[in-house]
Chain A
Amino acid sequence: MAHIVHIIDRLNIGGAQSLLVTLAQALRGRPHSMAVVSLHHDDTMAGAIRACGVPVTVLPGKLRDVGRIAEVCRLLQETNADLIHTHLGFAHVTGTLCGRLMGLPVVASLHSMQEHPAERFRDLVHYRLQRWVLRTLCDRIIAVGPHVAVARAGYVGRARMEVIENAVIPPPPLSAGRRAAVRHSLLGSERDDGPLFIAVGRLSAEKGFADLIDAFAIFGRSDPRAALAIVGGGELMGALRAQVAGHGLDGRVFLPGARTDVPELLAASDVFVMPSHWEGMPVAVLEAMAAGLPVVATRVGDLPNLVSDRTGLLVEPQDPAALAGALSSIAGTPDRWAPLGRAGKRLVDERYSPDVWASRLCRLYDEVLDGRWPGTGRRHWSAIRSIL
């Protein structure tokens, strides 16, 4: 019967945020209750979490503002938190420091394979600070996939790390009429008789969408009916639009921006593509497989655990020609989409079910709360806690 407060950088559309929605649903009927605190004014996903009956507090302000620790501490005290679970970089720092001040155990989730490169001095300071809190102040670190864990093992040093693989709730099936409507809304008035490829993710360089557009340009010459939708917002929107126009692919490649109805868009598409240069255990791929789509993905991170020739195709990253080959080979065999998609759905239902995931998380919370693996440094902070 513990109250777990999840602290997250921001509630924009992303993998970690979808996991919070999944957890909010999966925790129903379990003894633990949860609440979400966001450190940024962007609250796109807050509605979806609130819809599951989980309170969400948005604290607008600067992510780097350490002065807000007092504010977060007061909130934790008011809500009678028993354990803090932090997601993403700034929340690790703020959340862990709050936890130590309040004498609460802290669990941190590592969602990605690597940090963004520290280009500015303040990024470097943040990087070091984050590494220090993870190494010395966290009670437990969760890695979302085995390859994430291995890649981050050096980063977290001797901190206790456990792999708890991401999960996804399978979406309800889409009716034929709704499917046609969604496709129409995505493709506009264009002809809709060819395969629709879909890619989902933040529009940033490491997601490899530029490779995908190049590959689609190569492949599209042989199949003029095919269409591609890249769903997501981000700093590369302008550059990608220019690239599409440069290839003369307007009307065949669509960039609809960030959307909250991704499950429906997936269910209305034919093939999912993940061209990333690096990835952890992407929720987007789990969602696509849960929606029954075959997946073309790059051989990075934990993707080879998910995608094989039984569920789709794997290609090497940063190789548009290879990606074009994979797209055309899968587009040429539409009769294989259904079996590949079914195999993927079966795999996801079997290994990445929200039930198993939530049980593992709850067991980890219980272990930490029981103090079976007591944390570091809590004694030193109990004195400070009495001051607050």
Chain B
Amino acid sequence: MSVHQARIQGKTFLMTALPRVAMLINQFLPGIGGAERQVAMLGALLADRGVDVHVVTRWRDGCPALERMGGLTVHRVPARGTKGLAAVSFTAHAAAALGRIRPDIIHAHDLLSCGTTAMLARLLYGTPVVVTAHRSGSIGDIGRLHDKPFGDTRIALLRRNVDAFIAISRDINAELAAHGVPEDRRVSIPNGIDTRRFSLATPQQRAEARTAIGVQGGPVALFAGRLAVEKRLDLLLSVWPDVRRSHPTATLLIVGDGEMEAELRRIESPGVEFRGRTDDVLPYLRASDVFVLPSIAEGLSVALLEAQSTGAAVLATDVGGARDIIDDGVDGLLIEPGNPDQLRDGLLRLFADDALRARMRRAASARVARRNDMEGALEKLLELYLRLAPRHGRIRYAPHPSARVADRPGWRRR
């Protein structure tokens, strides 16, 4: 039998069984988006630790209904009809799927249909529910819920029926607090990234990456993410010619796809390259001098964290969790959302000042390693699950410091 040692609320326990977790998420891999990738990565790491992780998501054309994916079991349930009807259909099918999976914990990754489904499952099966809100503001979960019919009722229901809310940034935490979620049910777990993979690029790695992706000399700015309206790439493309006038060799790489792609490609601009979707953003990050994120809404951007960790100087709008991870002028530059002048000035300032960029990349990389490492996020999440999961197989044990219990065969230390 495999026994895990775990600390829950400051006490040491031996775990003879780890919980089964069902993640509820609207869309899942294959597909790009920070939240989905975060869930896939955390899920895989949890599965590594011995947690049985299931993902319940909407069915999509061309994907199998049941699939094993790197330690995760992905269940794709049908969501028929349009808009509201699809949401009702998803809720019904997902609740039925949860009845089959019988998880110990349900983790919903938005407050809308996933949150509703989770509450329904809690009502039906008594399973504890954790909800993560991945975005804040008007297009964030609570903002969107407000605009829905019975929105406030649904928020009140969530407040009463969710066992723990995970806030990935301070502003989401504040938003939850403003809607009456008590402090003991708010858990702050910032997004994490694999800081070993996204390590500070050496000059050699940078040169190799530039060759690999085919970029000539001159400064490189990068945007990587979904090409969605709220990312405000139109604004970036509108100020780019001014930047290009001061730095005629500068390149702007745009990596990703999305609903705005065709429209953006129509905006002719020198030195702009659309690279489409990629499975590996690492060489792009290594090759870039500046990472730019002009969004008007964000949760806690994983792309931004990866850029900081790899050593690109970041220029981001002050929305969502950006303030949590960027100290303006120290490990990145913060600008007002939707302000083209600040966007242009920021790009020019970063391109012009090599010393500033070098200082920022060092500071940012160190900060991400300290605060946003995947392992840290994983520990907090696992502790939350263990705290909420039924007590099955949990044994309190404080071994003597010199005892080597965890070294015994079959015993794993956490």
A residues bordering B, Cβ < 8 Å? 143, 146, 149-150, 153-154, 157-158, 160-163, 304-305, 347, 350-351
* CB nearest neighbor in B for A364: B396
Q: B399 to chain A: which residues have CB within 8 Å?
A: 146
Q: A161 to chain B: which residues have CB within 8 Å?
A: 394-396
Q: A153 to chain B: which residues have CB within 8 Å?
A: 16-17, 393, 395
- A351 contact from B1, B390, B395, B403, Cβ within 8 A: B403
Q: A149 to chain B: which residues have CB within 8 Å?
A: 14, 395, 397
Interface size class of B (residues with CB under 8 A): 20 to 34
A351 to B400, CA, bound (A): 6
A351 to B3, CA, bound (A): 22
Q: Are A146 and B400 in contact (CB under 8 A)?
A: no
Residue B352 at the A interface, CB < 8 A? no
* Chain A min CB distance to B4 (Å): 11
Residue B391 at the A interface, CB < 8 A? yes
Q: Are A158 and B14 in contact (CB under 8 A)?
A: no
Q: B245 to chain A: which residues have CB within 8 Å?
A: none
* CB nearest neighbor in A for B406: A146
A339 to B390, CA, bound (A): 47
Known A-B contacts A305-B403, A350-B402, A351-B403; A160 and B16 likewise in contact (beta carbons under 8 Å): no
Q: Is chain A's interface secondary structure helix, strand, loop, or mixed overall? A: helix
* B:1-44 near A, CB below 8 Å: 1, 3, 14, 16-17
* CB nearest neighbor in B for A161: B395
B residues bordering A, Cβ < 8 Å? 1, 3, 14, 16-17, 390-400, 402-405, 408
- A305 contact from B14, B393, B405, Cβ within 8 A: B405
> Between A and B, how many residue pairs show CB distances below 8 Å?
47
New contact pairs (14) apart from A149-B14, A163-B396, CB-CB < 8 Å: A143-B395, A146-B399, A150-B1, A150-B3, A153-B16, A153-B393, A153-B395, A154-B16, A157-B392, A161-B396, A162-B397, A163-B397, A305-B403, A351-B402
A161 to B393, CA, bound (A): 9
Q: Are A158 and B391 in contact (CB under 8 A)?
A: yes
Q: Are A158 and B402 in contact (CB under 8 A)?
A: no
Q: Are A162 and B395 in contact (CB under 8 A)?
A: yes
* 9 A-B pairs in the complex with CB atoms less than 8 angstroms apart: A146-B395, A146-B405, A150-B14, A153-B16, A153-B393, A160-B391, A162-B396, A163-B395, A347-B402
The 7 closest A-B pairs by CB, nearest first: A163-B397, A162-B396, A153-B16, A351-B400, A149-B395, A161-B395, A153-B393
A305 to B405, CA, bound (A): 7
A163 to B14, CA, bound (A): 9
* Chain B min CB distance to A117 (Å): 21
* CB nearest neighbor in A for B5: A146
Q: Are A304 and B408 in contact (CB under 8 A)?
A: yes
- A146 contact from B1, B17, B394, B397, Cβ within 8 A: B397
A154 to B394, CA, bound (A): 10
* Chain A min CB distance to B392 (Å): 5
* Chain A min CB distance to B11 (Å): 10
* Chain A min CB distance to B17 (Å): 8
* CB nearest neighbor in A for B399: A146
Q: B405 to chain A: which residues have CB within 8 Å?
A: 146, 305
Q: A350 to chain B: which residues have CB within 8 Å?
A: 400, 402
Q: Are B395 and A150 in contact (CB under 8 A)?
A: yes
Q: A150 to chain B: which residues have CB within 8 Å?
A: 1, 3, 14, 16, 395
Q: A158 to chain B: which residues have CB within 8 Å?
A: 390-392
A95 to B231, CA, bound (A): 68
Q: A160 to chain B: which residues have CB within 8 Å?
A: 391, 396
* Chain B min CB distance to A323 (Å): 21
A153 to B392, CA, bound (A): 8
